[in-house]
Structure 1
Amino acid sequence: MKPESDGGSEIKNYLVDKREKSSSRWTRVNKTFTIYDIRLKISGLLEGSDYQFRVTAVNTAGNSQPSEASQYAYCREPTYTPAPPSIPRVIDSTKHSISLQWTRPMYDGGADVVGYVVEVLEEGTEQWYRATQKTLKTNLFVAAGLQSNKKYSFQAAGVNSNGTGEFSEPSVEIEPVEKLSIPDLDLPDDLKKTVCLRAGNTLRLFVNVTGRPAPVLTWRKPGIDLQSRGFIDTTDSYTQLIVEKVHRYDSGKYTIEAENPSDTPGPPGSVRVKDYTKESVVITWDVPSIDGGAPVNNYIIEKREASMKSYKTVTTECRKTLFRISGLEESVHYFFRVLPENIYGIGEPCEIPESVLICEVPSLPQDLHIVDIGKTSAILNWERPLHDGGSRLTGYAH
């Protein structure tokens, strides 16, 4: 900024000095030119060096005292926000979470990338929102609290000292589903051969376990109930059998079995009928509350006439929770049901509680007119519709 006082004479020039941090000597920047402005671009500095600057004002009476020295400035290439990282990819998922990973930006903007920001877009919406308020320190993120049977997109951006960079291209829409893996038992080397113990000692059999969902583990020994004879400690990652004060009757072969707790799904939630025409209806339903240990990935739709006992298949492939059933006969009563399916098979059906009559809505009532009117009431009269939609009229709404 200009001096508070020009000393009663117009300022004719500014003298700018520089000094390296490693030196005690000030060097004049503008030896050969005059500076009228209060800004100056200084060139010829050494990259990687720190500099201080000071300014002296000049009028016809002479030079002022130099200003206080500036803070040290580090010379380097100009920096920017980072380039976008790669598209986030899924590395794991559960029913309610998706784990993502991406690679660092190809260009860090000239300053170290110190973290990342992740945004989420929910299926059917247009507004991206921050997945977490805090900046992530790594290129890994677990999006938790997601709804099953909904899809999500993700995008990531790098952060450096200049701010948040450009976001990556969005990921494809991803649905949180439980990944399945076959149970596996990892026996330590000392359990792969005969275990020898002195009578009165404690037997400890420890086995690492993997598998998704967490497998059901069972310890067995012929002729002995290990639940009462010993102590069994089981978690999602290991199982351990402990038998104290062993004796000769504890000798023999011990077996451990692991199996996935798998089953077919339970019935869907209530099946509802809407959008009637004279030859079709739309049915909707809710996702089963019990999925059998694996995601429900398909639904089978069936129909039957109320006068018949057996169902006929409408479709064996439906990925959503609604379906239009066409090719129905007008004025016929129908039942409909939905069967869920996962990788283990077809689950229990859910049927509509009452039969549905296939018909169109009635046409408009005719010749509506006022018969009488009072202070707070009126009496109306009208003629029946010309067409009842293929079903007997049950009433009128007003």
Structure 2
Amino acid sequence: MLLIPESSRIDAGKYELTLENSAGKKSADIHVRVLDSPGPPLNLKPIKIDKESITLQWEMPLIDGGAKITNYVIEKRESTRKAFATAVTNCPHTSIRIGDLGEGCEYYFRVSAENEYGIGEAVETTDPIRASQAPTPPESIIPTDVTKSSVSLAWTKPKHDGGSRITGYVLEAQKKGTDQWAHVTTVKAMDFTVKNLNENEEYIFRVMAVNHSGRSAPRESKPIAVKDSTSLPEFDLRGVCQKIVIAKAGDDIKVEIPVMGRPRPTISWQKDGAALKLTQRTNVETTAATVVLSINECNRADSGVYTMTGKNIVGSVIDNITVKVHDVPGPPKGPIKIVEISRTYCVFPVSDGGNEYDGGFKITGYTVEKKELPAGRWIRANFTNIIETTFTVSGLTQDASYEFRVIARNSAGAVSVPSDPSDPIICKDDIIEPRIMVDAIFKDVVLLKAGESFKLDADIAGQPTPSMVWTKNGKEIENTMKLDVKFTELTTTLTNKDSVRSDGGEFVLTATNVGGFAKHIFNVKVLDRPGPPVGPLKVSDLLFPN
């Protein structure tokens, strides 16, 4: 009798019972199934890695716990943490993609099988796995020296390492006109001299960056003729769009520019026509293949034209890049001068021609703010972007006191600090004596023929808005079927139809406000046939013929 107390999954399996006596021996197999959760899965490993996900694969456990395995539970933890977190709770297959990982971060994973009796023991990755991908190609590859049997090459780092440290570079060569690439070397440095080349042959070289996830795509050189030669310096600015570098204030600027020329040129720098001053923030560096301009925590003073001069025995070459540091614009120039005040509005220029600084972008508009004194807060006074040079603030309260200020906005959406506030104003009408303005034709007599119409019009100015009245022969003119008088706030017209001689005369327009009055006389003459002689007819000095 075989007794196994407190059996577990490891007790499952095939048991062999053997009976033996003098007559012989007999064996029998007994298969024991222990109903339990499964054992650990086997051969857990990554099969695909990129910068934000890792795909895992494993095999089913040897011990299924006496029941079909229906699910797998996957957990993960960053290598810098101690606790695992559940990543996937429902996985019926033996592979899974774990996404939303941090690029360049390392993770441990463990997988547990599940059957109807529970979740079993987990299998764990022995080493951390980094979420990364193959790097981008090196930015450039250029020859730094050429002889009749060798080519010295240098290249720049990839823009992106794929989330994993670059472990080296693979260099290959191809004779121009052939399709076959030959392995030259694998190096950790970013330069190499290829020797034992055929004189006067042309070669193309390519370099690939390598990290733990694989090789980058290749970066190829231009065809290079193997011979003793010299050439002018040349700056490769293809990587600097339109030769302009744009950065926000506070950012670090680093511009790496490939430099060619044989022999290797010396490089000097200028900014805005003067020698570039090197400081703790501003520095230049020359590598085997490039020149590097670095500006830490840039500010608006770093904006300008940076000029590079390359010199060797062949000659010199000058090129430049423009650095634009984008910042908030300066406040509009002040002080704000109110040019017109009434009891409900005021008018002032929003800018007198510019800002102290536009922030590297064109000024596209202004915002006006108002504050009611003495204890009000600043509130916006305009509802649309102001692009005009003057602005009218309406909706003010009569006899209230206000201050105003202006904020500039540029095309990048950055806004300035507010301008200095205006001097306080009190909303009441300025008193301006009325003025009447008429066309030159109304300063002389207006002549017309009987049956024609005439129209008299004038523009009025004054503050407060003047009242207007038309009179003739000392009496105020009223509208009739043929005569019509119209008024707007600052204009007036008088129209007369089918004129007759009696419609002529002096038409007086008077404009009046508290500041005084103005008057203009329109002289109108209607030309017609003479009227009948004035009667009665008197006869005198009669003569009788003889």
TM-score under structure 1 normalisation? 0.51
Q: Give distance in 2, aligned partners of 1:17 and 1:114.
A: 37
Q: 1:165 to 1:16 in 2, by over 3 A?
A: farther
> Is the CA contact (8 Å cut-off) linking 1:96 and 1:145 kept in structure 2?
yes
Q: 1:56 to 1:98 in 2, by over 3 A?
A: farther
> Is the CA contact (8 Å cut-off) linking 1:157 and 1:168 kept in structure 2?
yes
What is the CA-CA distance between 1:62 and the residue it aligns to?
6.0
Is 1:87 paired with 2:239? no
Unaligned runs of 5+ in 1: 19-25, 40-54, 264-398
Q: Give distance in 1, aligned partners of 2:373 and 2:157.
A: 64
Is 1:206 paired with 2:454? no
* Structure 1 partner of 2:347: 99
Deviations 1:139-179 (A, max 9, x none): 42222211122211111111011411121111122111112
Amino acid at match of 1:94: S
Amino acid at match of 1:239: T
Amino acid at match of 2:326: T
Aligned with 2:370 (options 120, 126, 148)? 120
* Structure 2 partner of 1:231: 484
Deviations 1:266-285 (A, max 9, x none): xxxxxxxxxxxxxxxxxxxx
Q: Give distance in 1, aligned partners of 2:142 and 2:467.
A: 80
Worse-matched range after superposition: 153-162 or 70-79: 70-79
What is the CA-CA distance between 1:117 and the residue it aligns to?
1.7
Deviations 1:230-253 (A, max 9, x none): 211111221111111111111222
Mapping 1:155-174, distance limit 5 Å: 155-160=405-410, 161-174=412-425
> Is the CA contact (8 Å cut-off) linking 2:330 and 2:356 kept in structure 1?
yes
Q: Secondary structure at the match of 2:502?
A: helix
Aligned with 1:65 (options 217, 223, 230)? 217
Amino acid at match of 2:403: S
Is 1:176 paired with 2:176? no
* Structure 1 partner of 2:472: 221
> Is the CA contact (8 Å cut-off) linking 1:13 and 1:34 kept in structure 2?
no
Aligned with 1:252 (options 478, 499, 505)? 505
Q: Give distance in 2, aligned partners of 1:184 and 1:127.
A: 39
Q: Secondary structure at the match of 2:374?
A: coil
> Is the CA contact (8 Å cut-off) linking 1:154 and 1:171 kept in structure 2?
yes
Q: Secondary structure at the match of 1:17?
A: coil
Q: Give distance in 2, aligned partners of 1:221 and 1:10.
A: 96
Mapping 1:254-273, distance limit 5 Å: 254-260=507-513
What is the CA-CA distance between 1:15 and the residue it aligns to?
3.9
Unaligned runs of 5+ in 2: 1-49, 55-103, 105-128, 144-152, 163-206, 220-238, 246-321, 517-546
> Is the CA contact (8 Å cut-off) linking 1:12 and 1:36 kept in structure 2?
no
* Structure 2 partner of 1:188: 439
* Structure 2 partner of 1:361: none
Q: Give distance in 2, aligned partners of 1:122 and 1:215.
A: 29
What is the CA-CA distance between 1:123 and the residue it aligns to?
0.8
Calculate percent identity across the aligned residue pairs: 23
Q: 1:126 to 1:145 in 2, by over 3 A?
A: closer
Q: Give distance in 1, aligned partners of 2:131 and 2:479.
A: 104
Mapping 1:22-61, distance limit 5 Å: 31-32=154-155, 57-59=209-211
Q: Give distance in 2, aligned partners of 1:228 and 1:9.
A: 91
> Is the CA contact (8 Å cut-off) linking 2:370 and 2:380 kept in structure 1?
yes
Q: Give distance in 1, aligned partners of 2:440 and 2:342.
A: 32
Report how many aligned residue pairs link the two structures: 238
> Is the CA contact (8 Å cut-off) linking 2:51 and 2:132 kept in structure 1?
no
Amino acid at match of 1:117: T
Q: 1:27 to 1:185 in 2, by over 3 A?
A: farther
Q: Give distance in 2, aligned partners of 1:186 and 1:248.
A: 27
Q: Give distance in 1, aligned partners of 2:449 and 2:372.
A: 62
The structure whose residues are more often strand, as a share, is 2
Q: Secondary structure at the match of 1:227?
A: coil
> Is the CA contact (8 Å cut-off) linking 1:113 and 1:158 kept in structure 2?
yes
What is the CA-CA distance between 1:71 and the residue it aligns to?
12
Q: Give distance in 2, aligned partners of 1:190 and 1:10.
A: 87
Q: 1:195 to 1:179 in 2, by over 3 A?
A: same
What is the CA-CA distance between 1:192 and the residue it aligns to?
1.2
> Is the CA contact (8 Å cut-off) linking 1:9 and 1:59 kept in structure 2?
no
Mapping 1:360-379, distance limit 5 Å: none
Q: 1:35 to 1:243 in 2, by over 3 A?
A: closer
TM-score under structure 2 normalisation? 0.38
* Structure 2 partner of 1:242: 495
What is the CA-CA distance between 1:60 and the residue it aligns to?
7.2
Worse-matched range after superposition: 224-233 or 184-193: 224-233
Q: Secondary structure at the match of 1:197?
A: strand
> Is the CA contact (8 Å cut-off) linking 2:431 and 2:515 kept in structure 1?
no
Q: Which has the higher contact order (CA 8 A, sep 6+)?
A: 1
Deviations 1:292-346 (A, max 9, x none): xxxxxxxxxxxxxxxxxxxxxxxxxxxxxxxxxxxxxxxxxxxxxxxxxxxxxxx
Aligned with 1:17 (options 139, 145, 149)? 139
